Every structure is written in structure tokens, then in C-alpha cells.
């Protein structure tokens, strides 16, 4: 049994590269974070009968497979995923990542597919780490010192679930210029001297407990804009996960404000507002005429045609060549798409990439977009789960799909799923079963209807998944063969 002690991703990468070159299979490596740690690979299949002190000769792969080639070559996308997953707090992370690259070197490309067990875990780790980075960007709160005494001017405390402090520190170094600061966490701290980042040992929570005049001003403002008559406590909690409240300045006053609203201030606020109104108590006006006049949004980022923008990180536009012959239309962005601002970059995107490759379609030659441009979700625990957009939301967003169709002018539109089909046809009653058998012409272009890639991930069994996947591949192949629609 070979024992490897690693403390960082760079150390792991160098060790893993050497082990791959020697052809050492995962079950013959014991990974540890320090000399005193035990085996971190027990969850992924270490042989119980092998002595921890033994140093055997090179061992073959499972099932008699050949050892990998000596030179390890990984695509950039996989290296980026491994670097992110290395920040995931799990005892067996180094062992798991080595298992991933071992399988890749053996030619098992499914290891980075969300449909594969290891691939699904890798995607989940990357997603959790990137979400933690996003949350840390949003919820780190700096306090400013009164006097400069050689210590950092701004100090913050944060309790991350995963080891994302180095990445987040680089983010704040870019944003805060020459101002000195420190972010302390239970596991480590980092300081910025205005030019360079410096690692520091872990500090106590009290290191960030300093008096900040600006914070008192912020709390005064926060109280002044709080309207008890319009309080939605559930929405307030869903916007900011509960674990962040204790380290936010407003976290100390929000519970009391919610309690006061529930105990009468909401009713008092409503009564006062109604009492100030004059004139007739009944106004004869339709709901449409009662809406204020607003200029139509000129860009997608300005779109407020429905309410989905309120809970989304950003609008996700389509990507691809301006004159692509084939346009793929999905339903809406998912969690990863919402965070990255790009379509089909999450697990469903991985399935689509595999289907495009199998069908012989180059991804960079097609235009990828969605019928709805904002992520609609509901909170389940700590996860944002996809929620199917309503027909009114699809209709409100259709103007952006129309703009893309007019600009790109594709010869073939591939509708990925029922929502996309309804948007492309502008028919809320359209069904997949009625049009999936063969392509058809709509408004001077071919339309091909196939399952959405996420349907493959949600299928109940392997046979159903394979059948749905084959429908997608066949539809993409057919789209590749279709030419322009002949008029007359």
C-alpha cells in the first residue's frame, strides 16, 4: 500500500501524475492530509487486507484492465472541475479525484458524465464549491477599523462549508484595490496588504468583533426601509440561507422586526396607509389600465416582463454563431446556468454535449438558447430545485426568442422538451407526442422535437434513460441532414 500525504491541490496533482506514470491503481494508494492521518480512501474501496506499511510493485487495474499510459493528459475542462472539487470538504476527496483521473486514463470518458455515478458525484462537488464561492462573495461583511495601526483596515469573519477562501480572497483583492483587509475563518485566514495576499493561521471569531460606525448607519437605514405591512418572512428567509444570518449585521435585528410585524405593526402600517387616502373607496378601472406606463426593456438584463427576474442571479442569453444553421431551444436555465450566465453548462448540458458529439454536431456551430431566460426555482433544504415555468412566463419571454430567431435565422430549430416546443410554436396546447415522429415545417423553417437532456437524468431506470437519449441523438442527426425549406 502506497501512502501519499497531500495538503493542497498542487501537491495532489504532482503525486497523482507520478502514480499514474507508475500505473498504480486507486486501491493501492492511501491518501492522507498529514502524517498522522489514517486512510482517507475507505469510502471508495481500499483493500482491507493490505498492510498500510507495504510498498508493492506496480499493480494492475480492476478486472485485469491494462495500466494507464505513462503520460497523463487531461482536458482543461476536467482539470478545472478537479481543482474546484478539491475544495469540497470530504475526507476521501483526494482518493476520489485520483479514481476519476485513473478511469479517464483507462479511456472511461463517462467518468465526467452526470449519468455516471462518479461523474454525478464530481458534478455535485463542483456545484457545491461554486455555490459556496458565490455565497461568500455575497455574504462576507467587512467592518472598518477606527484607526490605522498597521493592522488591516477592514476585517470580516465567515464560516464556509468548503475550502474556498483562496479563490474568494483573489476576488476581493481585485475588487477592493489598495485598501488593506483580512478575512478570518475557523480553518484559516488571509490578509491583503494592498499588493499581495498572505496566508495566516486560523483566528477566533472575536478577531472580527470590532466597532464600526458605518455598520450602525447601515442598521439605521435597514430599519427605516422595513415595511411591516409588506413583510413576507418565508421569502426573506429563502433569499438568505439561515447559516449566514448570524454573521450579518442585520441578522441581529431582523428577528425582532419580524416579531413586531406579526404582533401588530403590520396591521398598524396598513391602517395608516389606508387612512391617508382620499376620494372614492372604489375605483372603476381594469387591472391592465391600472398598471403604470413603462418603457419596454431594450436589453435582456433589463427585462421585467414577468416576476422570474426577482429570484434569479441573472438573465441567461443564447450563445452561438450569429448565422447558425441549427438552433437548439431548451426550457430555462438551471442552477449552474443561472450562476455562470451561460446555457447548458450544468448536468443536462453534459448530456447534451455527449449527444451532440455522438450525432456528429459541433457545439460551437449551433446556437443554444432557452424559451425562458431566467431560472425559476424553489428552495428544498439548501438546494435550489428547478420549477417548470408557467405558460404566462413562457409567453412573456417569447419576445426574446423571437429576437433570436429573427437575428440568427436558423434553417432548423430543435425543440428540447415540451416547454420549448410550446414557445417555438406559440401554442400552449402543443404536445411532444404529436410531433416527435418526424420533422415538420413551421413559419418557413424545420422544427425537430426531442426530449430535453434533463429528461434523461430524471428517467426512472437505465432502459428509459437510454431510450430517451437515443431519441435526442436521432433528432440531432436528422437536424443535420435537413436543408432550407423550399417555398412554393
CATH of the domain at 410: 3.40.470.10
* Whether residue 112 sits in one domain with residue 144: no
Note whether residue 335 is domain-resident: yes
Asked, for residue 292, whether it belongs to a domain, the answer is: no
Q: Of the candidates 224, 247, 267, which is a domain's last residue?
A: 267
Question: Last residue of some domain: 133, 162, 177?
Answer: 133
Same domain, 434 and 464: yes
Q: Domain for residue 274, yes or no?
A: no
Domain assignment of residue 178, given as a range: 140-208
Question: Would residue 289 count as lying in a domain?
Answer: no
Closest CA to 333 of 397, 376, 382: 376
Q: In this structure, are 40 and 171 located in the same domain?
A: no
CA distance 98 to 24: 10
Residues 231 and 354 in one domain: no
SS3 188: coil
Looking at the domain assignment, is residue 295 inside a domain?
no
One domain for residues 355 and 435: yes
Indicate the helix (H) or strand (E) that contains 398: helix 391-408
Three cell numbers at 259? 416579531
Count structural domains, the chain. 4
Same domain, 228 and 203: no
Which string of b and e fits 178-200 if b means at least 16 CB within 10 Å? eebbbbbbeebbbbbeeeeeeee
The pLDDT value recorded for residue 255 is 73
334 and 452 housed in the same domain: yes
**Sequential pLDDT tens for the chain (488 residues):** 788 888 889 999 999 999 999 999 999 999 987 665 544 433 333 333 333 333 333 344 444 444 555 578 899 999 999 999 999 999 999 999 999 999 999 999 999 898 999 999 999 999 999 999 998 998 888 888 776 667 888 888 888 999 999 999 999 999 888 889 999 888 889 999 989 999 888 777 666 666 676 777 777 777 777 776 666 767 666 666 777 777 777 777 777 777 776 665 545 444 444 445 555 555 555 555 555 555 566 789 889 889 999 899 999 999 999 999 999 999 999 999 999 999 999 999 999 999 999 999 999 999 999 999 999 999 888 889 999 999 999 999 999 999 999 999 999 999 999 999 999 999 988 999 889 989 999 999 999 999 999 999 999 999 999 999 999 999 999 999 998 988 65
Same domain, 226 and 344: no
| Whether residue 316 is found in the same domain as residue 452 | yes
Enter the pTM of the model. 0.47
Asked if residue 288 is part of any domain, the answer here is: no
Q: Which of 171, 188, 208 is the last residue before a domain boundary?
A: 208
Within 13 Å and on the Cβ side, how many CA atoms surround 272?
9
What's the CA gap between 303 and 452, in Å, rounded? 25
127 in Cβ contact with 335 (< 8 Å): yes
User: Does 129 lie in the same domain as 34?
Assistant: yes
Q: Is 475 inside a domain boundary?
A: yes
Residue 417 lies in a domain: yes
Q: What local confidence, expressed as pLDDT, does residue 67 receive?
A: 53
Show Cβ contacts of residue 396 under 8 Å, excluding neighbours closer than 6 positions. 305, 306
CB atoms within 10 A of CB 434: 11
Q: How far apart are CA 340 and CA 385, in angstroms?
A: 16
Q: What are phi and psi for residue 378, nearest 5 degrees?
A: -135, 145
**Nearest in space to 472 (alpha carbons), one of 324, 385, 369, 361:** 361
Same domain, 219 and 259: yes
Q: How many helices (H) and strands (E) does the chain have?
A: 17, 14
Task: Give yes or no: residues 67 and 194 share one domain.
Answer: no
Amino acid at each position: 500500500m502506497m501512502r501519499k500525504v497531500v495538503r493542497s491541490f498542487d501537491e495532489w496533482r504532482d503525486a497523482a501524475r507520478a502514480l499514474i506514470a507508475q500505473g498504480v491503481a486507486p486501491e493501492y494508494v492511501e491518501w492522507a492530509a498529514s502524517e498522522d492521518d489514517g486512510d482517507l480512501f475507505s469510502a471508495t474501496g481500499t483493500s482491507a487486507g493490505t498492510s498500510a506499511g507495504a510498498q508493492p510493485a506496480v499493480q494492475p487495474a480492476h478486472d485485469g484492465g491494462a495500466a494507464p499510459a505513462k503520460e497523463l493528459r487531461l482536458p482543461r475542462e476536467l482539470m478545472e472541475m478537479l481543482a474546484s472539487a478539491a475544495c469540497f470538504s470530504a475526507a476521501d476527496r483526494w482518493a476520489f479525484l485520483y479514481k476519476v483521473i485513473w478511469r479517464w486514463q483507462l479511456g472511461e470518458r463517462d467518468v465526467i458524465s452526470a449519468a455516471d455515478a462518479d461523474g454525478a458525484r464530481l458534478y455535485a462537488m463542483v456545484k457545491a464549491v461554486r455555490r459556496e464561492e458565490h455565497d461568500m462573495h455575497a455574504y462576507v461583511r467587512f467592518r472598518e477599523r477606527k484607526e490605522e495601526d498597521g493592522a488591516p483596515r477592514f476585517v470580516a469573519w465567515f464560516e464556509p462549508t468548503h475550502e474556498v477562501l483562496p479563490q474568494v480572497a483573489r476576488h476581493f483583492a481585485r475588487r477592493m484595490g489598495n485598501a488593506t483587509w483580512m478575512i478570518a475563518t475557523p480553518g484559516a485566514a488571509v490578509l491583503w496588504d494592498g499588493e499581495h495576499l498572505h496566508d495566516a493561521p486560523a483566528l477566533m471569531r472575536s478577531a472580527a468583533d470590532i466597532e464600526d460606525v458605518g455598520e450602525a448607519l447601515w442598521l439605521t437605514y435597514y430599519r427605516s426601509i422595513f415595511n411591516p405591512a409588506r413583510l413576507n418572512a418565508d421569502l426573506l428567509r429563502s433569499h438568505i440561507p439561515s447559516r449566514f444570518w448570524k454573521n450579518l449585521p442585520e441578522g441581529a435585528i431582523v428577528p425582532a422586526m419580524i416579531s413586531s410585524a406579526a404582533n401588530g405593526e403590520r396591521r398598524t402600517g396598513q391602517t395608516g396607509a389606508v387612512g391617508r387616502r382620499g376620494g372614492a373607496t372604489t375605483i372603476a378601472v381594469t387591472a391592465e389600465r391600472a398598471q403604470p406606463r413603462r418603457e419596454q426593456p431594450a436589453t435582456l438584463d433589463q427585462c421585467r416582463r414577468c416576476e422570474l427576474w426577482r429570484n434569479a442571479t441573472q438573465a441567461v442569453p443564447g450563445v452561438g454563431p450569429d448565422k447558425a444553421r441549427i438552433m437548439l431551444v431548451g426550457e430555462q436555465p438551471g442552477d449552474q446556468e443561472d450562476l455562470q450566465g451561460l446555457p447548458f453548462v450544468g448536468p443536462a448540458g453534459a448530456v447534451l454535449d455527449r449527444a451532440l458529439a455522438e450525432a456528429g454536431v459541433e457545439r460551437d456551430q449551433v446556437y443554444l438558447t432557452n424559451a425562458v431566460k431566467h431560472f425559476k426555482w424553489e428552495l428544498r433544504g439548501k438546494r435550489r430545485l428547478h420549477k417548470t415555468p408557467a405558460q404566462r412566463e413562457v409567453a412573456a419571454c417569447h419576445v426574446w426568442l423571437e429576437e433570436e430567431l429573427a437575428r440568427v435565422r436558423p434553417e432548423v430549430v430543435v425543440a428540447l422538451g415540451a416547454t420549448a416546443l410550446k414557445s417555438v410554436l406559440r401554442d400552449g396546447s402543443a404536445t411532444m407526442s404529436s410531433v416527435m415522429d418526424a420533422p415538420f415545417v413551421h413559419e418557413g423553417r424545420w422544427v425537430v422535437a426531442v426530449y430535453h437532456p434533463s429528461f434523461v437524468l430524471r428517467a426512472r431506470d437505465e432502459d428509459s434513460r437510454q431510450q430517451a437519449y437515443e431519441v435526442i441523438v436521432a433528432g440531432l442527426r436528422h437536424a443535420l441532414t435537413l436543408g432550407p425549406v423550399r417555398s412554393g
